[in-house]
A = this chain, B = another copy of it.
Amino acid sequence: MVKVGVAGYGVIGQRLADGVALQKDMELVGIADLAPTLSIKALKEKGMPYDLYLVEGADKSKFDAAKIPVKGTFADLIGKVDIMLDSSPGGVGAKNKALYEKAGVKAIFQGGEKNSVADVFFHGYANYEKGLGANYLKLTSCNTTGLIRSVDCLDRAYGVDRVAITIIRRVADPGDYHRGLTNALQMDKAPSHQAVDLMTIMPHVEATGILVHTPVTHGHIITVVAHGKGGKKITAGMALDAFKSHDRIRVVSIDDGFLGNASFFRYARDLGNPRGDMYEIGLWSDSIVESGDNIMYAINIPQESVTIPESLDGIRAALKMQNDSKAATAETNKYLGLGKWK
């Protein structure tokens, strides 16, 4: 039983903890945070299903005042685990790394950290093998994770050598009050970092793209123009077949009622998924069109939860629990219940 800890119990950290708890070959030892945030208060109101450890700088008296039980220090937690999932705010993970190194504990960092924090910039499908036995992995960000799923899927099936993407990026999660955008679209300078990151993970693909921020909360939408390797045409039918066979891609249609990003959120809530989360990216079958040698399609990225499966894959890679991507992702999918709906 692999022992796992989570540092930073925010939007991603809560979901990492829940994801680990579902893996029958992993044990969630506990989570660490700095302050009695709403997330920590919710943990307390639920009866402390996970043990809480305090990172350096935490004011324990505030936790005492809120009657939130504390199990120990961050060092205590690190001392009990095989690997840490670090979803601390951007930049903090790099500082935590020194503690992990000192304790000889592996770690997986989330997308907010610089690539240099890790030995390997990781994606469970596209470069699992690079992560095997590595000490420090960094996960791709939410958009990149979902984007790569779809491009890797086509690439494995038919070969892809070039993509041009347009990211319509939601700017805030539900409940986010520290960032926002009101009634406006905002441009980023091209190329978007997601395109650049894709090339790091999939060096045989040329990628570029434009990112536009949009004032919504329930998922990003990305359009992808993908070029068949060497000009080999990928038809709409071929693309659809490949996407349908992928356990982390949910193929839907407008006619079925999936009208946009919010439909996925509504559907996940109706499914009874905790927090209304969905691990799969959505892919609209009626968005797939051909353009010369290119295939074009649109995907939906559930930003809060999409990186959880690949993070769990990362644990399997770093700790050599499985030896290849196929076995590792299948194991993760099994415990998360992915693919069952087909």
Contact = CB atoms under 8 A, between A and B. Distances in A.
A180 B215 contact: yes
A256 B68 CA distance: 14
Given A166-B223, A271-B42, A254 B187 contact: yes
Given A42-B271, A175-B265, A289 B183 contact: no
Given A164-B294, A183-B172, A184-B260, A254 B289 contact: no
Given A180-B182, A262-B177, A271-B46, A212 B221 contact: yes
Interface string A247-276: 000000010111111110111011110111
Nearest to A220: B185
A329 B261 CA distance: 38
A174 B264 CA distance: 10
A296 B185 contact: no
A115 interface: no
Given A177-B262, A291-B208, A183 B218 contact: yes
A216 B183 contact: yes
Interface in A265-300: 265-267, 269-272, 274-276, 284, 286-292, 294, 296-298
Nearest to A183: B183
Given A38-B266, A42-B267, A287-B190, A212 B298 contact: yes
Copies in the assembly, this chain: 4
A177 B271 contact: no
A293 to B, nearest CB: 9
Given A257-B41, A296-B208, A172 B164 contact: no
A103 interface: no
A108 interface: no
Contacts of A46: 271-272
Contact of A175 (B172, B266, B271, B290): B266
A210 interface: yes
A336 to B, nearest CB: 15
Interface of A: 14, 37-39, 41-43, 45-46, 162-164, 166, 168, 170-177, 179-191, 206, 208-210, 212-219, 221, 223, 225, 227, 254, 256-263, 265-267, 269-272, 274-276, 284, 286-292, 294, 296-298, 341
